[in-house]
Structure 1
Amino acid sequence: MEQRLLRNRGYLTLMIAQLISSIGDWLSIVAIITLVGLKWNATPIEISLIILCLAVPMALFGPFAGTFADRFNRKTLMVLSDLVRAGLVIMLIFASTIWMVYMCLFGIGLFAALFIPAKNGKLKELVPDSQMKSAMSVTSMIDSGTKVLGPLLSGLLVTAFGSNPVFLIDSATFVVSAVLLITLPASVFSNEGSVEEKGKTISFKEDFLEGVSFMKGNQFLLVGLSILTISLLILQLSDSQIIVLIRELTNASPDLFGILVTGSGLGMFFSGWLLAKKTDYKPILLMLLGVCGMGVSFGLLAVFTGMDLESSIVWGPGLGLIAGFSAGLVFIPFQAAVQTDTPVHITGRVFGVINSTTTTATIIGPLLGGILVTLFGVIPMFIATGTLLIIMSFIGLLFRSKIERSEKVVSKSEQGTQGTASS
């Protein structure tokens, strides 16, 4: 990572806020899934609905939220989102049925849909394009690092004190994040209020279509988005059912789910660290290799579980680490390319389109996965997921040279002037 990035006060503040709130997120997510999946003995469909409640708001309101983030003060929107989510997490303490959990998670997902494009837009303001690959890698390292720390802390806290302290801590992390975000530098360009061009007020619909039009004109980003979306759809057929897969093991440790998630987080952290130091990579090649790696790890999870192999506390997290490392190879290069190629004034809209598309895959995948697992069993579903991902990666590799040629001819004129921030 470049030393100049370390001296960027606004970027560091944004990353610290992300670190704190992400730790809280993982504390509560693992606590909820453990509670519902193991203690309440929820069905595969009920477990899938937990993921859906967080994902549906992003799919439905992501494009609108992205337009909102380009029209209004991004810092204000992030602070508001954090404070509202802090209150919703507190409400989880009083949830006595799974439906109350669903309602709280839907609200949290709704304000996350507003936060994400605002954060990506602010990141574009704070970091120059020359440092964006390193910045996105560090962002991924923070996400994956908290994926390691969060489950470990959650397991300890839930075991010692129950779930309520976990939710209180998560709520507090949102408040601390909001306080930090207030100190971010203000944008030097105005994105508040209605947008006008030649005396004519631009509608939200026209703003949204501008983001869609930009994506349609960038063939490389369209291909990358297609790879990301399809792989997510296939992955989510099984990913949301890992707790069900663990039930198939005769001597599975009660902590196996949290430890497996930790292994996945370590894998993503390592890939982020590697890509932060080596930024001269070919994005499409890394993405396809990552898809293949995820397929291999999910397939082996099914095979080893079907064999009821001993020492699941070793091979489970090991395969989780491979899956996490591979996922980092898919997400980080694509997100860095989007940030670099997108003009600062439409970053929210572009990420709104991307988030809506990818989140739709995370909605369909768990729902369809829950149904298929119920009909055919969890082990065949994991084998099918692994096989499809491997096939997809090989097909992509056959056309890689053509895809990479399209990357080289992306017009430089589509890249807007980099936004900066004032103190």
Structure 2
Amino acid sequence: MRFSKHPIHPQDKTSALASIKEGFLFMKQTPLLLTGLFTACFVLFILQIGDSQAIILIRSFPGAPPELAGWCMAVSGAGMLLTAAIVGKRRISSYLLYFTLGACLLGIATGCVPFLGGLGIVGTALFIFAFFIMGAAFGLVHIPFQILVQTSVPVDYSGRVFGAIQSMTTLASILGMAGGGVLAELIGVSLAFLICGCLLIAAGLTTLIGKKMAESRRYFVTESNKGAQR
């Protein structure tokens, strides 16, 4: 058995952790980046809960076709691809607006799916469409956030910032898959979807309120500067 000539030493792990910490410190100095990171992680967390518990929710629907879960996963990916194609061609004037819209749309779709089971064929079609909206909504948050990072982070910090982002999104994904089962076991899968949807809408509205407050503060600062110059 052959071993690497360059074994990993404890200081290498410390260096990696220090690099991630520096990435977080850089984002802390840019509130928009930090807001985008937490929004993207929260959206990913909820999406993983939805994906992991979709099969259990479908089983509670009377007469649901067995291939419904596969269709939902497929249209969710299609929604994200469609969003990527559209957002990639547009000039983003307000990242917070994309974050708000994505979180609210995902919240509405997530909160509605438990109520579509008893509506027959129409309910099945709406259930599939809801997962399409989930994928598209995730893209509305994730893709503008990636664009924001690529355009606002200096090259010297890009590795550290992307390392910090990767660690957070991986953690959110793992917690979403693991926590979805625990949450569904404690309160039921339908109520879990409803609560997650409400939390996402609240997060989106909070981001919108923060955007309005920042714009208002910027307006008053500009007006006060104009008054001082007169």
- TM-score with structure 1 setting the length: 0.45
Residues 1:310 and 2:84 are matched in the alignment? no
Q: CA deviation at 1:284?
A: 0.8
Mapped to 1, the partners of 2:43 and 2:217 lie a distance apart of: 21
Residue 91 of structure 2 is matched in structure 1 by 279
Residue 321 of structure 1 is matched in structure 2 by 132
| Compared CA separation, residues 377 and 285, structure 1 to 2 (3 A) | same
Q: CA deviation at 1:314?
A: 1.7
Q: Is the 8 A contact 2:111 2:198 kept in 1?
A: yes
Mapped to 2, the partners of 1:398 and 1:218 lie a distance apart of: 18
| Coordinate RMSD, CA, aligned | 2.4
Look up the equivalent residue of 2:203 and give its one-letter code: M
Mapped to 2, the partners of 1:205 and 1:258 lie a distance apart of: 38
Aligned counterparts, 1:74-89, within 5 A? none
Mapped to 1, the partners of 2:217 and 2:72 lie a distance apart of: 38
Residue 353 of structure 1 is matched in structure 2 by 164
Q: Is the 8 A contact 2:21 2:164 kept in 1?
A: no
Residues 1:377 and 2:175 are matched in the alignment? no
Mapped to 1, the partners of 2:204 and 2:142 lie a distance apart of: 15
| Compared CA separation, residues 321 and 386, structure 1 to 2 (3 A) | same
Q: CA deviation at 1:354?
A: 0.8
Q: Is the 8 A contact 2:98 2:141 kept in 1?
A: yes
Residues 1:366 and 2:160 are matched in the alignment? no
Structure 2, unmatched stretches of 5+, are: 1-13, 219-230
Q: CA deviation at 1:345?
A: 3.7
| Compared CA separation, residues 316 and 203, structure 1 to 2 (3 A) | closer
1:117-160 residue CA offsets vs partner (Å, 9 max, x unmatched): xxxxxxxxxxxxxxxxxxxxxxxxxxxxxxxxxxxxxxxxxxxx
Look up the equivalent residue of 1:340 and give its one-letter code: T
| Compared CA separation, residues 219 and 320, structure 1 to 2 (3 A) | same
Mapped to 2, the partners of 1:256 and 1:287 lie a distance apart of: 29
- Of residues 71, 76, 79, the one that matches 1:259 is 71
| Compared CA separation, residues 231 and 404, structure 1 to 2 (3 A) | farther
Aligned counterparts, 1:138-153, within 5 A? none
Residues 1:241 and 2:64 are matched in the alignment? no
Q: CA deviation at 1:203?
A: 4.6
1:210-264 residue CA offsets vs partner (Å, 9 max, x unmatched): 3233222222101111222233334434332111111111211121111111211
Mapped to 2, the partners of 1:319 and 1:279 lie a distance apart of: 27
Mapped to 2, the partners of 1:406 and 1:204 lie a distance apart of: 38
Q: Which has the higher contact order (CA 8 A, sep 6+)?
A: 2
Mapped to 2, the partners of 1:236 and 1:284 lie a distance apart of: 22
- Of residues 214, 224, 241, the one that matches 2:36 is 224
Residue 394 of structure 1 is matched in structure 2 by 205
Q: Is the 8 A contact 1:291 1:393 kept in 2?
A: yes
Mapped to 1, the partners of 2:107 and 2:149 lie a distance apart of: 25
Aligned residues with identical type, % of pairs: 37
